Structure 1
Amino acid sequence: MKQTNLFIIIIFSSLLLTACAGKREINDLALVMGVGIDKGSKDGTIKVTAQVSRPGDARGQTGAPTGQSGETTWNVEGEGESIFEAIRNLTAISSRRVFWAHNFIIVINEEVAKEGIGDIIDFFTRNPELRMRTLIALTPDKASEITATITSLEVIPGEALSKLFRYTNISTLAPHTEIKDLLAAYLSDSTEPILARISLEERKIDSLKPEEGAKLKQVELSGAGVFNNDKLVGILQADELQGVILFRDKIDSGVVVVACPKEPKSEISVELNKQKFDVDPIYKNNEVSFNAKLNATVTVVEAGCPFSVSDKELVEKLEKAVEAKLKEDINKSISKIQKEYKSDVLELGKVFQNEYPYEWKTMKKDWANIFSTAEVNLSIHANVESGSLLFQPTISGKEERKEK
């Protein structure tokens, strides 16, 4: 009995001794916050830029303590014939082990994406340290510049980039795309990948020279890239995305600007709220079509002309104008995706497969051609509501005095 107890104690003691065998000290790790992928300086090579946090300097202070640079990140690049080789070459100049678990975003240059991102998908989905919720985006600029651009609101550029995507369900300027979304679309036999697009634009005003206006570049959302398999085949601008995102994601808000019902030269802006969007597949006479229906509550947020929700005639005209504008914009985007890109980023194949699984088996091999000719019948219903501040027409008191 004593021997048995002694044996049990030895076993448990050995487990305790190995409990910290795989530990990693934070002081030994280079915490990657952002990654940029560009073409290398030589043909057939690729350049990887890693944005590494400098914990000692990332405290928001204006002056650099003794022995520190004051820069919040250390941006370093490596080149190789593959992503893995380029990253391995980073270790030659890094005093710490590159650690990916805290990475916010991966940014890919569009020239790289045109040649194919299959190897990028493969590498980053195999990496056990990388989170599948990591954001991924395209840029027409150098990815190394995007990941190194400092903003005035966030200390870490990688964190600033990730926070741009917090409100994409309101702005609809770009889709919210993560590694898991890209992988799912890439592996799908119907849906094609679509990636958010970000670019550098002169938006920031130098506080020392405000009279010069915006001169410093900042990163902003600027549409999306459409893929066929793993290759970039086209770009959707920000104003073409509202309808596309409806098919893929839930949109909390949107803005539509139309002419005033009684004053065509003036404009009225409305916000779309409580949107409900449904897509129903139809298979008849060996032909595929889709019925898409959008119901949205509309709130007047800016009126460049007198408008009152108590005037039913004005309200009805506004609803019709909003419906016509939305239908025109969405149909234009659908047509561009179907006819020009022939890439099912709208996930219509997934919708059809769920409803007609047997028919899908015979269609999936030729889905790209079927999708490009499938009719999408869009119906839109807008219902105007408004807050208490807009129940009365916004007419100047001076104008009322003149009328008297």
Structure 2
Amino acid sequence: MINRTMLLAVSLLMLIMSSGCLGKQEINDLAIVTAVGIDNGENNHVKLSVQIVRPADARGQTGAPSGGTGEPIYSIQATGRTIFEAARNLARFSSRRVYWAHNFVIVLGEGYARKGIADMIDFFTRNHELRMTTWVVVTPEEAGQVIATITGMEVVPGEAIDKLFRYNQIVAEAPGTNMMRLQESFLAEGTEPVLAKVQLRPRGISNKNPDQFGSLDQVVLSGAAVFEGDKMKGWLSPSEAKGLLPFIEEVDSEIMVINCPDDSNNHATLEIKSLEQRVKTRFVNNQVKVQVAQTANANLVEMGCEQPFTEIKDQMTLALKQKLENQVLKTASAAQKKYKSDIMKIGQVFHNTYPLEWKQIHSEWNRYFEKAEITVSADAKISSPVLKIQRFVKGDGLSLKSK
């Protein structure tokens, strides 16, 4: 009996050890995708572009291929009636199996996004290799061109866009939407999808042509694409995107430049260190009323005004409040009047407050949102983290005073 038990245990152990290698995939047999571009193709087809990293050529730390053996990325493109058919057709050009697990970003061309992205959401959420944290963006240019352009300080363009999102909160001009958030906003009632906007802009300077500014294209992350359902309706400007962000994600930092009191030629720069927002809805006489309240704490980081900070602090605080309020109202105007799309998640707030009324009007929510009365109030506090209370002037060593 003991011998049989030992024999069975040894057999099971050998089976486990041998089966562990059955599904192995050698890295040399994989085409590792780091960025995906989707555009409209001819004859109502989908044009799928993928950026494949070449590990042997992407090891250099300065942006140049190591040893001069080749380019760090390899881009291929295929078309199909569906995304999956186009993905399978990539095998015509790739000597390795396309592997999606390390993809950083999905770039959608504007034409494709306006036609509808439901099939893209369906395909990539069903793909077991794709991470739901993959960024999704829209470009007014050709998506295939964006993912094929080596930009910035990174060797791999897909990684460059990924790192732009990591530090995007410093500027706060574009939403950080990944596949999980896109799927959520697409399937949920009371909100519409919004994706970041990326563009190629001549910003870099080539080492070979240091006197020619803009000789290298760079990826710029700023603004947003507005959707209704799965179809893109238009763009939000960077300032409109700023006003939208508190409604859909946390804002950790933001820069505000305000005019000096009685001197519009000079400016002071404020860094918002915390921004809290509360949204309340009311339903009065079959009309939706929305109250938005913001509380901001800001630091004075650059002083260009002639007057000492202590003398104009109240005026600067009032200017900051007005700027915060106008920023939200500008975004609300674009959402209500221009696009008639609830990208501000007002519907979700209304649903939580009035669940019974929501059942009656949810099918016509965008019409109610379009006519909703939105009011904004902001409260702000400004402090100076340094002892200097006025602008720096040559020889003014005695103006260091406590706040």
TM-score range, shorter chain: over 0.9
Question: Which ranges in structure 2 are unaligned for 5 or more consecutive residues?
Answer: 399-403
What TM-score results when the alignment is normalised by the length of structure 2? 0.93
Q: Identity of counterpart residues, as a percentage? A: 40
1:122 is paired with a residue whose SS is: helix
Aligned partner of 1:136: which letter?
V
Is residue 349 of structure 2 the alignment partner of residue 351 of structure 1? yes
Distance 1:31 1:355 in 2: 47
Shift of 1:330: 1.8
Distance 1:327 1:261 in 2: 19
Residue 147 of structure 1 corresponds to 147
Distance 2:81 2:230 in 1: 19
Please tell me whether the aligned partners of residues 198 and 220 of structure 1 are also in contact (alpha carbons under 8 angstroms). yes
Aligned partner of 1:138: which letter?
V
Q: Deviations over 1:16-54 (max 9, x none)?
A: 3322221111111111000111122x2201111110110
Figure out how many residues of one structure are paired with residues of the other and give that number. 395
Please tell me whether the aligned partners of residues 169 and 250 of structure 1 are also in contact (alpha carbons under 8 angstroms). no
Shift of 1:207: 2.2
Please tell me whether the aligned partners of residues 280 and 292 of structure 2 are also in contact (alpha carbons under 8 angstroms). yes
| C-alpha distance 211-357 of structure 1, shift in aligned 2 (>3 A) | same
Residue 401 of structure 2 corresponds to none
Please tell me whether the aligned partners of residues 269 and 303 of structure 1 are also in contact (alpha carbons under 8 angstroms). yes
Please tell me whether the aligned partners of residues 117 and 230 of structure 2 are also in contact (alpha carbons under 8 angstroms). yes
Distance 1:92 1:345 in 2: 41
Residue 128 of structure 1 corresponds to 128
Distance 2:65 2:129 in 1: 34
Shift of 1:307: 3.8
| C-alpha distance 264-19 of structure 1, shift in aligned 2 (>3 A) | closer
Residue 211 of structure 1 corresponds to 211
Distance 2:65 2:269 in 1: 46
Spell out the pairing of 1:308-319 with structure 2 (5 A cutoff): 308-311=308-311, 314-319=312-317
| C-alpha distance 2-153 of structure 1, shift in aligned 2 (>3 A) | same
Aligned partner of 1:172: which letter?
A
Q: Deviations over 1:84-117 (max 9, x none)?
A: 1111111112111100000000000001111001
Aligned partner of 1:326: which letter?
L
Please tell me whether the aligned partners of residues 307 and 394 of structure 1 are also in contact (alpha carbons under 8 angstroms). no
Residue 331 of structure 1 corresponds to 329
Distance 2:65 2:352 in 1: 59
Work out which of the residue numbers 311, 320, 323 in structure 2 matches 1:322. Answer: 320
Residue 221 of structure 2 corresponds to 221
Question: Which ranges in structure 1 are unaligned for 5 or more consecutive residues?
Answer: none
| C-alpha distance 379-220 of structure 1, shift in aligned 2 (>3 A) | same
1:241 is paired with a residue whose SS is: helix
Distance 2:53 2:122 in 1: 25
Shift of 1:134: 0.4
Spell out the pairing of 1:179-258 with structure 2 (5 A cutoff): 179-258=179-258
| C-alpha distance 258-63 of structure 1, shift in aligned 2 (>3 A) | closer
2:349 is paired with a residue whose SS is: helix
Q: Deviations over 1:107-155 (max 9, x none)?
A: 0000111100111111111100000000010001111111111124111
Distance 1:54 1:393 in 2: 52
What TM-score results when the alignment is normalised by the length of structure 1? 0.93
Q: Deviations over 1:140-186 (max 9, x none)?
A: 11111111111241111110011111122221121101001111111
Distance 1:78 1:241 in 2: 34
Please tell me whether the aligned partners of residues 73 and 156 of structure 2 are also in contact (alpha carbons under 8 angstroms). yes
Please tell me whether the aligned partners of residues 47 and 79 of structure 2 are also in contact (alpha carbons under 8 angstroms). yes
Residue 362 of structure 1 corresponds to 360
2:130 is paired with a residue whose SS is: coil
Please tell me whether the aligned partners of residues 260 and 268 of structure 2 are also in contact (alpha carbons under 8 angstroms). yes
1:362 is paired with a residue whose SS is: helix
Please tell me whether the aligned partners of residues 185 and 192 of structure 1 are also in contact (alpha carbons under 8 angstroms). yes
| C-alpha distance 17-298 of structure 1, shift in aligned 2 (>3 A) | closer
Residue 57 of structure 1 corresponds to 57
Moved more, 237-246 or 382-391: 382-391
2:78 is paired with a residue whose SS is: strand
2:362 is paired with a residue whose SS is: helix
Shift of 1:70: 2.3
Kindly report the root-mean-square deviation, in angstroms, between the aligned alpha carbons of the 2 structures. 2.0
Moved more, 233-242 or 103-112: 233-242
Residue 279 of structure 2 corresponds to 279
Residue 388 of structure 2 corresponds to 390
| C-alpha distance 99-63 of structure 1, shift in aligned 2 (>3 A) | closer
Aligned partner of 1:90: which letter?
L
Distance 2:84 2:343 in 1: 29
Aligned partner of 1:239: which letter?
S
Please tell me whether the aligned partners of residues 275 and 294 of structure 2 are also in contact (alpha carbons under 8 angstroms). yes
Work out which of the residue numbers 362, 371, 379 in structure 2 matches 1:373. Answer: 371
Moved more, 250-259 or 135-144: 250-259
Please tell me whether the aligned partners of residues 152 and 218 of structure 2 are also in contact (alpha carbons under 8 angstroms). no
Residue 78 of structure 2 corresponds to 78
| C-alpha distance 327-63 of structure 1, shift in aligned 2 (>3 A) | closer
Moved more, 250-259 or 137-146: 250-259
Distance 1:50 1:213 in 2: 29
Aligned partner of 2:38: which letter?
I
Please tell me whether the aligned partners of residues 305 and 394 of structure 1 are also in contact (alpha carbons under 8 angstroms). no
Residue 20 of structure 2 corresponds to 19
Distance 1:174 1:93 in 2: 35
Distance 2:128 2:317 in 1: 51
2:367 is paired with a residue whose SS is: helix
